[in-house]
Structure 1
Amino acid sequence: MESYGAVTGAAVPLGTQEWPARTVPVSGAELLVRDVPNADKTLPPALFVHGLGGSSLNWTTLGHLLNDTVRGIAPDLPGFGRTPPLAGMGGIHEHAELLSELMTKEFDEPVHLFGNSMGGAAAVALAARRPDDVASLTLVSPALPHRRVSASAVWFTAVSTPRLGKAVLERTRRIPFERRFKASLSVIFGEPRLLPPEVLEAYEAELRARDTQTWGPEATLEGARSILYSQFAPPRRSLWAAAAKVRCPVLLVYGGRDRLVDARIRTKAQQAFRDARLLYLPKSGHVAQMEHPQEVERAFRQLIG
């Protein structure tokens, strides 16, 4: 396993304290995996799963806040962060299978599972497959099937269309970085102007790093197609059917200013799981664990306490 350095220290804000990282071979992929720092090895395990276009760094602050409660890991899924792509492993169910192997390799007891966006969809599929191995499930704006017409639905349709998708992404990459950065902030966060400076800087650095990765567009295309196709899965194979199979306590987190996942789906989502609690944050966007980490931390502690 290859190890990477980390930026840490009491004087460094939590949002920029990178977790120690290593590479773990799983199913033919060399996953970059980060470990929650300063967590006791006797604590119960946790697995943090990022969404489409994200990375393990999306969980930095929340993991630090919970390091007295869980010993967690966060992988960069194939094609994102520092993990190179792996052919045929870019969809929701492929991610669930890969995460299942990682879970088996890393832990020998039930896991507290966290997922955001597409990572939330993969977490639902994983929890349904292995109900005895998931102690709790925390979903932040999970990409569950929702056919309401929206700007994001139109974007996913366009990106998922052969030829058109590549053209859309290539055209987007030609837009000056500062314009793309500003647009990304408005799409991902509910109140970007209120974000701590260090969170903004870390997010900008991550986007700049993505620009240097040749595999990014293809990974985005494959993930977008998977999200779109999940909308039309037969009822028995849908993510809603998977949700009904989840046995553990579930925390659902939705943001009222989420432009990618319509928060109005929260009532249906809460009813779909056997034992679900809801945290609704009216001013949060798509990544509440980054924008309102203390609220998510508090809700998780209540869920397991």
Structure 2
Amino acid sequence: MTTAEHFGGTSHHADLDGPVHWVDFGGPDDGPRVVLVHGLGGSHLNWVLLAPLLARRARVVAVDLAGHGLTHPEGRQTTVQANARLLGRFVEEVVGEPVVLVGNSMGGMISLLHTAEDPGLVRGLVLVDPALPMVLGTRPDPTMLGTFFVYSVPGLGERFLARSRTVTPRKQVDRLLDLVCADPAGIPEELKLASEHLIGERAGVEGLDKAFLAAARSTVLTTSRRGAYYAAMRKIRVPVFLMSGDKDRLVNVAAARFVARRHPHWRYDEFAGIGHVPQMEIPEVVSERVLEWMDANGLSTPES
């Protein structure tokens, strides 16, 4: 049984200039199409707690971006821009109709950039703690700042990743959850075990470190180009739902508040005591809010 099947999903691969792994979580055939897009270093597993809840009323799939999950690099570019193009091809060639995109962290950035460039494929956009430019005057989390500094330095990032693999898969999972969750104790044990299993499945795959660092450096570069990123936001004409945990260590909540003020027509929800991955920390709440927002914006039925 694959990690996806353990949580009620079915694994597939699509040929988009190389195999792209995606998971079908089912849902009503006459429901709206929802595509879930994970963040940096993530995978379809980031959505296994939320997806079944959304699938009660929507047809839900999750895609592994290039260099992530079970979509191996195989020489492909893994920058934010390259994965935005890959996401567009996935929606057009695999899903085959306009969708509601739900993106977390780097996946939120990728979903936003794709929506700005190819709005015909997107009906609505949900940004779950997306990667955003830092607001001047706020203090970044020291661990986050140090980690991304290491990633950005050629040679140093490679050595850091190699050293991180010397600990057990469980320790790797625990370290990541400590960074992204306000309270990692709330994450189910079965998801932690599935994450360990995925680390094992990826062991020995060529080019993973190079792919990860290219994605990380591209994410930092894209957020640093504030003018271009904010211009992309202004181009979006579909309904947008921005949400943020106020204990997010990777993207300070001040950045989400700043963007929300710039776009008062977007819905903005903030979760007290929640970190960078609300879809894992409070999946029931996120599902309820997203489905409510879809109803309010006429997104609860397929586009005719």
Question: For the superposition of Structure 1 and Structure 2, which TM-score range results when normalised by the shorter chain?
Answer: 0.7 to 0.9
1:282 matched to which residue of 2?
Answer: 272
Tell whether the 8 Å contact from 1:157 to 1:228 is kept in structure 2 after alignment: no
Structure 2 gaps, min length 5: 296-304
2:230 matched to which residue of 1?
Answer: 240
Tell whether the 8 Å contact from 1:131 to 1:245 is kept in structure 2 after alignment: no
Q: Pick closer, same or farther for the CA change 1:159–1:256 going to 2, 3 Å.
A: same
- Aligned positions of 1:103-114 closer than 5 A: 103-114=91-102
1:185 matched to which residue of 2?
Answer: 177
What is the percentage of aligned positions where both structures have the same residue? 30
Deviation at 1:103, TM superposition (A): 0.9
Following the alignment from structure 1 to structure 2, what is the Cα–Cα distance between the partners of residues 60 and 176?
23
Alignment of 1:35 onto 2:27: no
- Aligned positions of 1:110-259 closer than 5 A: 110-146=98-134, 149-151=140-142, 152-233=144-225, 235=227, 238-259=228-249
Deviation at 1:191, TM superposition (A): 0.8
- Aligned positions of 1:42-121 closer than 5 A: 42-121=30-109
Q: Pick closer, same or farther for the CA change 1:220–1:124 going to 2, 3 Å.
A: same
1:13 matched to which residue of 2?
Answer: none
* Structure with the larger RCO, 1 or 2 (CA within 8 Å, 6+ apart): 2
- Show CA shifts across 1:68-100 (max 9, x none): 322122111111111110435211111111111
Tell whether the 8 Å contact from 1:51 to 1:118 is kept in structure 2 after alignment: yes
- Residue type matched to 1:29 in 2? G
- Residue type matched to 1:243 in 2? M
- Residue type matched to 1:136 in 2? G
- Show CA shifts across 1:11-67 (max 9, x none): xxxxx41410111011x1210111122x22222211111111111121112111111
- Residue type matched to 2:108 in 1? G
Following the alignment from structure 1 to structure 2, what is the Cα–Cα distance between the partners of residues 211 and 87?
17
2:286 matched to which residue of 1?
Answer: 296
Give TM-score scaled by structure 2 length.
Answer: 0.87
- Residue type matched to 1:102 in 2? F
SS in 2 for 1:141: strand
- Residue type matched to 2:294 in 1? I
Following the alignment from structure 1 to structure 2, what is the Cα–Cα distance between the partners of residues 149 and 194?
25
Tell whether the 8 Å contact from 2:3 to 2:197 is kept in structure 1 after alignment: no
RMSD between superposed Cα atoms in Å = 2.2
Q: Pick closer, same or farther for the CA change 1:136–1:239 going to 2, 3 Å.
A: same
Deviation at 1:157, TM superposition (A): 2.3
Give the paired residue count: 291
Structure 1 gaps, min length 5: 9-15
Tell whether the 8 Å contact from 1:284 to 1:291 is kept in structure 2 after alignment: yes
Tell whether the 8 Å contact from 2:119 to 2:236 is kept in structure 1 after alignment: yes
Tell whether the 8 Å contact from 2:101 to 2:126 is kept in structure 1 after alignment: yes
- Residue type matched to 1:278 in 2? Y
Q: Pick closer, same or farther for the CA change 1:6–1:86 going to 2, 3 Å.
A: closer
Give TM-score scaled by structure 1 length.
Answer: 0.87
Tell whether the 8 Å contact from 1:140 to 1:254 is kept in structure 2 after alignment: yes
Tell whether the 8 Å contact from 1:189 to 1:287 is kept in structure 2 after alignment: yes
Deviation at 1:274, TM superposition (A): 6.1
Following the alignment from structure 1 to structure 2, what is the Cα–Cα distance between the partners of residues 272 and 87?
39
